Amino acid sequence: DAGITQSPRHKVTETGTPVTLRCHQTENHRYMYWYRQDPGHGLRLIHYSYGVKDTDKGEVSDGYSVSRSKTEDFLLTLESATSSQTSVYFCAISQGSNTGELFFGEGSRLTVL
Amino acid sequence: GEDVEQSLFLSVREGDSSVINCTYTDSSSTYLYWYKQEPGAGLQLLTYIFSNMDMKQDQRLTVLLNKKDKHLSLRIADTQTGDSAIYFCALGTGRRALTFGSGTRLQVQP
């Protein structure tokens, strides 16, 4: 158990509304990631963070922003949700080992109507 | 960027061996991983192999790496119904985010 909690686990919202997903970790790891999972695409990286206030874009960052003001929390925000952002969102952490494996949260299912 | 490809679906009978394949384009990856995802859950790390290895065995799991052909495979011996899940291969350099394949859904028939 890597101590990762995602909230909310399920959310239904309407097009144009803002949405924030939260990832909380209990073990003080530096590296945190947000991925989205869609059928036929596997997992695609949205944004990642290497520490407090140190974030960068992944391959599908358009329409998303992130913030990391504390080591334990990594927030993903959709400023104005669109139907194409309907997906399952996964937060992951790296323990910083040389082998680089990621440990995942349980996911947040977002539906944009 | 890195392209990682997997076949979408594999069906086997309980007790048989399963082989899940993955091909990739970028040879700079240091570690290659296999993850398992059960319905409604996150991804669980199964095993990984370092790029200078050809094979790694871990109980019922055998990972084979052919760097020349850029081909990674996961063999599950004596497949059980509890092995039914989606399996993802992923590549990384040990310090950055991982790149994932599209996943292979394994269905185990009793």
Span B29-88, pLDDT tens digits = 889 999 999 998 999 999 999 999 999 999 999 999 999 999 999 999 999 999 999 999
CB B107 within 8 A of CB A47: no
Q: Which residues of A touch B97 (CB under 8 A)?
A: 33, 45, 48, 58, 102
Cα–Cα dist B80/B92, whole Å = 29
Confidence band, pLDDT 50/70/90 cuts, at residue A77: very high
Q: How confident is the model at residue A65, as a pLDDT?
A: 97
B residues 11..40 contacting A (CB < 8 A) = 30-31, 33, 40
3-state secondary structure at position A85: helix
Amino acid at A73: D
Q: Cis bond leading into A8, ω under 30°?
A: yes
Binary contact (A100, B96; C-beta < 8 A): yes
Cα–Cα dist A84/A24, whole Å = 25
The average pLDDT across B11-20 equals 97
Q: What are the backbone dihedrals phi and psi of residue A83, each rounded to the nearest 5 degrees, phi first?
A: -60, -30
Chain B residue closest in CA terms to A47: B97
Q: Which residues of A touch B8 (CB under 8 A)?
A: 40
Q: How confident is the model at residue A96, as a pLDDT?
A: 75
Q: How confident is the model at residue A2, as a pLDDT?
A: 66
